[in-house]
Amino acid sequence: MRLRRTILRASATTLLGLVASYQTLAQSAPQTLPPTAERAYAEVASRFDERDALSIVSFMDQYWRLAGNPGFNASIDHIRDRLVAAGFTAATTAAPATVRVDEFPNTGRGWDYRVGTLQFDDESEPLLSRERDRVSLAINSFSTQPRGLTAPLVDVGAGSDYAGKEIKGAVILGDAPLGRLWQEAVKRRGAAGVISTDIADYIRPADPSAMSNEQKDVLQWGSVPYDAAAKAFGFKSSWRASDRMRARLKHGAVNVRVTIDSTFYEGPTRTLVAEIPGRTRPAERIVMVAHVQEPGANDDGSGCGTLYGLARALVTAIKSGALPQPERTLTFMWVDEVRGSRQWITSRPDEARGVQYMFAMDMTGEDTSKTGGTFLIEKQADPSAVWARPSDPHTEWGGSEVKPERLKGSLLNDVHLAMCLRRARDTGWVVKTNPYEGGSDHTAFASAGVPSLLNWHFTDRYYHTSQDRLDKVSAAEMKNVGIAVATSAWLLASATDQDAAAVLNLLTHAAQARLTLEREQGSALAARGTDPAAAAAIEKQVTAAWLKWYDEAFESVARLPIAGDTDRMRDQIAAAKAAIQSENRR
């Protein structure tokens, strides 16, 4: 990551120019959507109820949601009931739209807490509490006795200053990551529990431009290992609380009182599945997924609300006759992130084999004026995920290693970008993309060979923090994402020959725009390099990878029409491939 960021900083001026160039090329793509997509867009846009979708987020925001715990299960049940009210049938028999709950053995355990308070032993005002900080107590923390535990507070600084300090039975304050602090202090040295101040750089609690009373109190939630023998605990602390602790320690020994009432749950993992069966190709599926666990309103209450909103809009349009039944099955799932997707893929292999494309929705409702994030399409892994390019910078989440030989081109990235840009033309919505990085449910489906992408927002200064609450969510942003995903999914489920021809035209434009961009930035990067021959070799690899990618993307269009491919479509695909290859190998 340091190398990648150095490259991007060194080419900041070029980066701005190339990004602007790429955005201009993307915006100049065909302005009219394929007919089936344009029809779906209009019907979903008029029926997506953003207030109803936001009410899902409001309900979920009450709970610390972990698979198997009451908040997770209440959220699953609430969304199911709302889907039934919208027109989905809770039945196993064939119906125009169905909803069910699948249960799987929970490989972990649920956990939640009612009380999690840390205070100075001689003061009544808590330093940390559920009422104020909501998620300061670490997952897997055990209960104390009802009256609490009183113990010395010991500061180990960055996390390694243990020399000469009595750790056994103490509560340890440190700046190291929570898990590392717990392993050293609790597991190795017998501490009663730990308090970590660790927080990601992009949260920026010490940045004067972002500073507010709220930011001073921000903390990122975390977990400690489940250990029935140690029965220990962990806290995440805001900088304000840790400053108070360290100020007291300067004047001598300090005792703190910790009071915890927590519960572990052994119930199953539950997955909510709603489907609108396909009329002519029901075994082929377009899958959309949001995850239920985690405590955030944006992460991922907004994804769950967005998915509910678009499912409701589609079923309402079908019931009214404004849209026909889709030709391929539309599958909507609310899951335990990644694990729930993998469980569905493993437990329903016949259905999983029929998945054509997948959309993940994670943090889809951010109020960008408050969070600092922007809407992103995290693309199906393409060559931008392999070679760091100024036009396609990774987010601060950071990229996963992607092998060039694992790349497989498809129409998904460019089709979905076109749907998002269609919404942007109507609303001024800001749409950007980032290379594949992984980490959400698209990872599980991509590993199964399904073209998959993520709809999300980043960088977010409230990500995984105590302040990811309902006031940071934008119903309008949820609506934008929901309409774009629903339009893309409907096109992929019900495309005609005419739609396929329009998609092929869109891909031809996108391929040429991308290859033109790669020539421009490749030349700029090579000019600044110290080894022209090596730079030229890399650029040859990049160009070849993009040519292969789009060659396969063109081929994927043949599978798009419901009626199947035709000789005419095959001829059009061959012509598009030949034109791009000829233009870019001269």
CATH number at residue 432: 3.40.630.10
Domain identity same for 260 and 371: no
Domain holding 437, by residue range, is 2-108+268-497
Q: In what order do the strands lie in the sheet with 98-104?
A: 98-104, 269-276, 328-335, 281-291, 355-361, 452-458, 374-378, 432-434
Domain identity same for 435 and 512: no
Domain identity same for 136 and 260: yes
Domain identity same for 135 and 177: yes
Domain identity same for 71 and 166: no
| Helix or strand (DSSP H, E) at 432 | strand 432-434
Domain identity same for 238 and 167: yes
pLDDT of residue 210: 53
Of 264, 283, 304, the residue at which a domain comes to its end is: 264
Tell me the torsion sign for CA atoms 488, 491, 493, 497.
negative
CB 473 within 8 A of CB 23: no
| Rounded alpha-carbon distances, angstroms, from residue 445 to 213, 330, 515 | 41, 15, 28
pLDDT of residue 5: 32
Of 218, 246, 264, the residue at which a domain comes to its end is: 264
pLDDT of residue 523: 82
CB 61 within 8 A of CB 470: yes
pLDDT of residue 160: 80
Domain identity same for 487 and 360: yes
Domain identity same for 325 and 376: yes
pLDDT of residue 526: 73
Domain identity same for 485 and 503: no
Largest distance between two CA atoms of the chain: 84
Domain identity same for 88 and 225: no
Residue 391 CA to residue 379 CA, distance in Å, equals: 14
Residue 484 CA to residue 478 CA, distance in Å, equals: 10
pLDDT of residue 214: 66
pLDDT of residue 213: 64
Of 480, 497, 514, the residue at which a domain comes to its end is: 497
CA atoms within 13 A on the CB side of 552: 15
Q: Given the structure tokens 């899951």, which residue do they identify? A: 335
Query: At 211, which CATH number?
Result: 3.50.30.30
Residues found in the chain: 586
Tell me the torsion sign for CA atoms 362, 368, 373, 375.
positive
pLDDT of residue 13: 42
Residue 562 CA to residue 459 CA, distance in Å, equals: 39
Residue 240 CA to residue 48 CA, distance in Å, equals: 42
pLDDT of residue 209: 56
Instruction: Enumerate residue ranges in the chain where pLDDT < 50.
Output: 1-22, 24-25, 211
Domain identity same for 86 and 170: no
User: Count of CB atoms within 10 A of residue 441's CB?
Assistant: 31
Closest C-alpha among 377, 376, 384, 378 to residue 402: 384
Residue 330 CA to residue 349 CA, distance in Å, equals: 17
Q: In what order do the strands lie in the sheet with 255-265?
A: 110-120, 255-265, 149-155, 171-174, 193-196, 233-236
Closest C-alpha among 380, 549, 385, 546 to residue 455: 380
Q: Count of domains in the chain?
A: 3
Domain identity same for 52 and 151: no
